[in-house]
Structure 1
């Protein structure tokens, strides 16, 4: 799907992302997990060589194939479903970085599996994720995530393989002579916008479009993040709000694939911070089960806006990494139900214990599901002194 030259540039961009995602610089001998799906093997090989060239110790790990996943979720007994590989916690305690190379060969192979079984496995793995979150809060761990184009993705997105690959190369600037330089420029632009948003000190944010009328409370001691190197590509500017202040209705006009299920037209109504009404044009029962995964699954963990001037993504890509960064004609707003990001705390995230996070309204869940709205919209910030100001309109930040 990608030429050798593009793979080499892609690997360079991923190394930039990995380096940027961590506060402390990597040292020779640091351990980096390279987790990849089989179609991304050539990209994994390119990344592996570059990590070695930096004096790092890459640990390659192939993820489950669709047939393996189907066998696991379809036939595992209760003990097998929550089984954790020996040594996994030790690896999480000692790895310094991780690269995740997504390249799905199937998006629907789990469509016949009871979502409760998938949720049970996700909840069982949450303690491992918590290890990495804690180490990231201390500046000891960084990660980056990317997508390698596959025929399955192209088909589900309604494109040819060539068209899909072209969207990926454009979004990641792989045709540019120096794509890393482009990312560095975007990083600086985003830093200015994040600082501006932080200076506004909004008491609440009001999102309005044809089908959205949602109030989100940024909360105390928050900061805005984005273009941090974690996601390649990433054009969103986001924060984790105080979930308790969420009220109103939200509509995701962008479809999504999740755990083998195609979901379209999700409508959520929030009251006192939690989802009280759920509807969907397709996949409604799946949505209901996902939001019942645990107590935090029906609460807001993220609020995000993407400026269309940054993003080159103009089509549905059948993958959340790209769809949550959709630029198109009107940019996008997306919210995530489920877990929040503690690094949106404006102090030292390592100082936050579970009690402090709860007091500040950071949501905790095994779920994190981004739901995207691409309608024309306006976002107004309501300030503590009663004034209001529009921060986002016609797909652009008004900075």
Structure 2
């Protein structure tokens, strides 16, 4: 018997996250293993009067990255560009058979491959900022992801459904409540000019005046539960030590420490994965700047799973992303990457806005959220 939560998952994605309407071209991308959710979403799109188009994802890029020439690595299919140009809605369902299939790829080749596709990513961001394209990224529970997270498949399914509030009688109503709660934080931060984040071996500050704090309420990322913005690009100064490994293309970089001066990473070290770290921040000039600063607010997510879709939302954490900004936040940084890294704030962490303490030990103070 199919899990009723798959149906609720699809209904929430199509009707709440993407808001599919009659006549919309909706492109679904997903691995074969995620077929139950692909099928359920397909059905919901039909019910909404949309036009679903399914693209099956695969792990064949491993062959390209290992065997391909420079010309092949940098070739970008016009078909992939047309999809982003023409779709009204994009649904990307994560969850494949092997989370480590890219682990032994030369970091320089990964860098070259991703840099070549920056224009497609830029086009998606621009259409999204104009309101021409809605996109959502979600996750289907698979054995490989469960193993990566250190859980059984049943445990991982429960983790995902809890993180998405799909165990609730009305998940959409739950997400509306989250939006309302987060809006208090957004309104507070949109009135501030300066931000300082302090935690273990971390003391970093940045200007946020004229930038827009966004309320991430399960539309683009599902699940969500964060507020985020893009800092003034040349204002970031100080140091930060990330509490959890940075994950990029299935490879882990451990104990990342960054030092910023006038917005630029001037020192970057890691106890494991130093070469990949250096390759990533050297992809382009924008890769050494912060494109996003965010506060995780989803307290149904309380453990690190090595999947940033969930990890960056952990209640009681903050994260910075090197690289591309989200235009809607007012951020202007451009890059081939957008790489999130996570700092735990639950044991002594503090955040100050214009010198005022508003966040301590992983929680926003009551004076802000009332």
User: TM-score under structure 2 normalisation?
Assistant: 0.94
256 and 153 in structure 1: CA distance in 2 versus 1, 3 angstrom threshold: farther
How far is the alpha carbon of 1:228 from its aligned partner? 5.3
State whether residues 258 and 267 of structure 2, in contact with CA within 8 Å, keep that contact through their aligned partners in structure 1. yes
Greater shift in the superposed pair: 289-298 or 190-199 = 190-199
Q: Deviations over 1:3-35 (max 9, x none)?
A: 430100111221244336xxxxx5421111111
Measure the CA separation in 2 of the matches of 1:49 and 1:120.
38
Could you tell me whether the CA contact under 8 Å between 1:18 and 1:98 is conserved in 2?
no
Structure 1's 259 and 62: CA in aligned 2 closer, same or farther, altered over 3 A? same
Distance 1:183 1:83 in 2: 40
Q: Output the CA distance in 1 between the equivalents of 2:196 and 2:258.
A: 16
Give the alignment partner of residue 326 of structure 2, picking from 331, 337, 341: 341
1:322 aligns with 2:289: no
Match of 1:380 in 2: 352
2:100 maps to what in 1?
108
Deviation at 1:284, TM superposition (A): 1.7
- Kept in 1, the 8 Å contact 2:246–2:256? The answer is no
Structure 2: gaps spanning 5 or more residues: none
Aligned to 1:393: 360
With the length of structure 1 as denominator, give the TM-score of the two structures: 0.87
1:164-243, aligned counterparts within 5 Å?
164-199=156-191, 201-202=192-193, 204-227=194-217, 229-243=219-233
- Tell me which residue corresponds to 1:80: 72
2:265 alignment counterpart: 275
1:61-140 map, 5 Å: 61-65=55-59, 68-140=60-132
Q: Single out whichever of 184-193 and 267-276 deviates more from structure 2.
A: 184-193
* Counterpart in the other structure of 2:300: 312
Secondary structure of the 2:174 match is helix
The Cα of 1:267 is off from its aligned counterpart by 0.6
Residues 198 and 224 in structure 1, CA contact (< 8 A), matched pair in contact too:
no
User: Are the structure 2 counterparts of residues 288 and 96 from structure 1 closer, same or farther at C-alpha, using a change threshold of 3 Å?
Assistant: same
Shift of 1:221: 4.3
| Structure 2 equivalent of residue 45 of structure 1 | 39
Specify the SS of the correspondent of 2:220: coil
Aligned to 2:8: 9
3-state SS of paired residue (2:214): coil
Whether the aligned pair in 1 keeps the contact of 2:179 and 2:215 (CA below 8 Å) is no
Tell me, yes or no, if structure 1 residue 303 matches structure 2 residue 293: yes
2:274 aligned residue: 284
Of 176-185 and 240-249, more deviation after overlay is shown by 176-185
Alignment check: 8 A CA contact 2:198 2:204 kept? yes
In the TM superposition, residue 106 of structure 1 has moved relative to its aligned partner by 1.7
Which ranges of structure 1 fall in alignment gaps of 5 or more residues? 21-25, 346-360, 383-387
Structure 1 residue 301, shift from structure 2 partner: 0.3
C-alpha contact (below 8 Å) 2:211/2:232 kept by paired residues: no
Aligned residues: 364
Q: Indicate which of 239, 246, 249 corresponds to 2:236.
A: 246
User: In 1, distance between residues paired with 2:327 and 2:129?
Assistant: 8
Aligned to 1:50, the other structure's residue is in SS state helix
Deviation, structure 1 residue 173: 1.4
Q: What value does the CA root-mean-square deviation take over the aligned residues?
A: 1.7
Give 1:212 deviation, angstroms: 0.9
Equivalents in 2 of 1:60, 1:159: separation in Å?
30
- Tell me if the contact between 1:18 and 1:99 (Cα under 8 Å) persists in the aligned partners: no
Contact 2:189–2:353 (8 Å) recurs in 1: no
The CA deviation string for residues 198-254 of structure 1, in whole angstroms up to 9 with x for no partner, is: 13x22x211111121111221434333322511111111110111200011111111
Structure 1 range deviating more: 317-326 or 104-113: 104-113
Contact 1:31/1:56, CA 8 A, preserved across alignment: yes
> Of 332, 341, 349, which residue of structure 2 is paired with 1:362?
332
**How far apart in 2 are the matches of 1:228 and 1:177?**
17
Please say which of residues 215-224 and 104-113 is displaced more in the overlay.
Answer: 215-224
* Aligned-partner Cα distance in 2 for 1:99–1:291: 29
Counterpart in the other structure of 2:23? 29
- Are 1:17 and 1:144, in contact at CA under 8 Å, matched by a contact in 2? no
